[in-house]
Amino acid sequence: MEKKSSLQNGDYVVIKALDDGVNVIGLTRGIDTRFHHSEKLDKGEVMIAQFTEHTSAIKIRGRAKIMTSNGEIESGK
């Protein structure tokens, strides 16, 4: 039986920018929380992000719609 990597098992988050200049920042796991990835989205752009063994949190700056398996929320209001 083939073992699935944690990349295939992580939860996905869909982020849709509602304004230009939305920042999406991935934060690491471990003793020290650090930034490991950052993206800037313009209005209408969509990013699909995934929690993995390296990503424990995602920070969003700006007005965006965030869709998860637990529901939807709008940031930056």
Domains of the chain: 6-75 (2.60.40.50)
pLDDT of residue 43: 98
Among 75, 55, 47, smallest CA distance to 7 is for 55
> 36 is written with which tokens?
């490991």
Distance CA 2, CA 22 (A): 38
> 32 is written with which tokens?
């020290």
Total-model pTM = 0.78
Do 16 and 62 form a contact (C-beta atoms < 8 A)?
A: no
pLDDT tens sequence across 24-55: 998 887 777 777 889 999 999 999 998 887 78
